């Protein structure tokens, strides 16, 4: 212990007194410093009544629960606003100017003034709503398509002859006619149901003279000499027409790649009278393939897609990418009768499952 050299031990007394104040009775030295520091640094523990602590914890948990519920409500409200905007914007589910062959496309053509940035923004908003609910995984091509591509809104596609009016999915193999093997299951299923589908047409057929009112279920002609009866229109089932065509409806239910829950998806009978011609037009997207099952094919009928001519055959399917510029004509005589095909919209074989799910969400039919 250190002691002072002054008379009477004054310095020693001072140190002893200080030691008594800090650590109790007695003297202290340098060897006592660690203990003194440890005791001086002890935390000050406040007494906290147990009921009060429990109440504070309950209030904190309640606040966190309320915040979480508010966040969920806000997220759901934004999704509903996005989908509500889509229902009001007829650029997705309606409008004139679409290609009339094989059902109302449910989309505006690329030349419609309402097409372009507004519709592109709507697609982007719906896609963001999908990603918030699920994930961006596997959405690279769909995201690029929603953000805008050279073919969206009337740009040039393959050699300028592929111009989908609404959605161009990049990096899809493009050809005016798709090999049958690309959709082998659905093609073979439709062809095996050819007799039943033909009987259904016989049950709903009429004279197509145009001098009598349209029979129930038939749509008004969107072009002279072009009639159609749809079992699915813009992704929505038409129950009365499906009941009248049980064979065709059963065939549709067995398809694996039918776009049955998407506004791009149509299915039904298409009738073209002799002398009728549908001038060049492009479908709304390259994400689908149209399957034409020939039912009645008289001489003089022609289909030109992307500059390549083809013709239907009764009982056989023809797969067409209708995002290419295409023309349909019936150059036969009145005695030959109408050309009749059963048309179904299928997914393009190179659109992945995750992309199909996202596009079904983005282009879901109106409730």
Q: Is residue 274 scored above 50 in pLDDT?
A: yes
Residue whose entry in the numeric block shows the structure tokens 């963001």: 128
Q: Is residue 323 scored above 70 in pLDDT?
A: yes
- Beta-strand relationship, 236-237 and 308-310: unpaired
Closest CA to 151 of 161, 141, 143: 161
Put residue 106 in one of left, alpha, beta given phi > 0 → left and psi -120 to 50 → alpha: left
pLDDT the model gives residue 208: 87
pLDDT the model gives residue 212: 80
Q: Is residue 329 scored above 90 in pLDDT?
A: yes
The span from the CA of 81 to the CA of 147, in Å, is: 20
Kindly state the helix (H) or strand (E) to which residue 347 belongs, with its residue range.
strand 339-347
Q: Which residues of 48-74 are buried (b: 16+ CB within 10 A; e: fewer)?
A: eeeeeeeeeeeeeeeeeeeeeeeeeee
Among 95-104, 208-217, 265-274, the range scoring the smallest mean pLDDT is: 95-104
Residues ≥6 apart with Cβ < 8 Å to 237: 231, 260
**14-41 average pLDDT score:** 46
The span from the CA of 88 to the CA of 113, in Å, is: 17
The span from the CA of 131 to the CA of 357, in Å, is: 11
Q: What tens digit of pLDDT does each residue of 48-71 get?
A: 566 666 777 888 888 888 887 766
Reported confidence tier of residue 313, pLDDT bands at 50, 70, 90: very high
Structural contact between residues 186 and 255, judged by C-beta atoms closer than 8 angstroms: yes
* pTM exceeds 0.75: no
**82-107 average pLDDT score:** 41
- Beta-strand relationship, 339-347 and 326-330: unpaired
For residue 237, the cross-strand partners are 232
pLDDT the model gives residue 305: 95
Structural contact between residues 221 and 227, judged by C-beta atoms closer than 8 angstroms: yes
The span from the CA of 292 to the CA of 102, in Å, is: 9
The span from the CA of 234 to the CA of 266, in Å, is: 6
Among 55-59, 71-75, 149-153, 312-316, the range scoring the smallest mean pLDDT is: 149-153
Structural contact between residues 285 and 256, judged by C-beta atoms closer than 8 angstroms: no
User: How many residues are recorded in the chain?
Assistant: 367
Structural contact between residues 220 and 210, judged by C-beta atoms closer than 8 angstroms: no
- Beta-strand relationship, 267-272 and 339-347: antiparallel
CATH dotted code for 177-204+225-366: 2.60.120.330
| Cα 350–Cα 352–Cα 358 angle in degrees, nearest 5 | 130
Average of per-residue pLDDT values in the chain: 78
Instruction: Map out the domains of the chain as residue ranges.
Output: 177-204+225-366
Closest CA to 145 of 366, 348, 305: 348
């Amino acid at each position: 212990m250190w002691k002072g050299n002054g008379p009477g031990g004054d310095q020693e007394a001072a140190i002893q007194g200080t030691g008594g104040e800090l650590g109790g009775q007695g003297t202290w030295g340098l060897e006592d410093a660690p203990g003194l520091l440890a005791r001086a640094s002890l935390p000050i523990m406040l007494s906290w009544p147990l009921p009060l602590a429990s109440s504070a914890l309950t209030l904190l948990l309640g606040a966190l629960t309320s915040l979480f519920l508010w966040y969920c409500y806000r997220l759901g409200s934004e999704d509903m606003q996005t989908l509500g905007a889509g229902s009001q914007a007829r650029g997705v589910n309606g409008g004139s100017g679409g290609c009339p062959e094989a059902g109302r496309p449910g989309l505006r053509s690329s030349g419609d003034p309402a097409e372009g940035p507004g519709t592109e923004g709507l697609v982007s908003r719906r896609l963001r709503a999908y990603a918030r609910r699920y994930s961006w995984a596997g959405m690279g091509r769909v995201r690029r398509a929603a953000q805008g591509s050279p073919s969206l809104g009337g740009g040039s596609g393959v050699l300028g002859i592929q111009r989908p009016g609404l959605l161009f999915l990049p990096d899809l193999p493009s050809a005016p006619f798709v090999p049958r093997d690309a959709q082998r299951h659905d093609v073979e299923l439709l062809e095996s149901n050819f007799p039943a589908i033909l009987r259904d047409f016989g049950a709903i057929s009429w004279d197509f003279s145009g001098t009598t009112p349209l029979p129930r279920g038939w749509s008004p002609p969107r072009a002279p000499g072009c009639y159609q009866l749809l079992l699915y229109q813009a992704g929505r089932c038409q129950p009365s027409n499906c009941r009248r065509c049980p064979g065709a409806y059963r065939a549709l239910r067995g398809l694996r790649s039918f776009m049955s829950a998407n506004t791009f998806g149509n299915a039904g009978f298409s009738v073209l009278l002799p002398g009728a011609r549908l001038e060049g037009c492009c479908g709304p997207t390259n994400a689908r393939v149209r399957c034409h099952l020939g039912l009645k094919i008289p001489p003089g009928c022609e289909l030109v897609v992307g500059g390549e001519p083809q013709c239907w055959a009764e009982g056989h399917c023809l797969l067409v990418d209708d995002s290419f510029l295409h023309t349909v004509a019936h150059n036969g005589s009145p005695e030959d009768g109408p050309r009749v095909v059963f048309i179904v919209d299928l997914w393009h074989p190179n659109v992945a499952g995750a992309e199909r799910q996202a596009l079904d969400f983005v282009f879901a039919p109106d409730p």
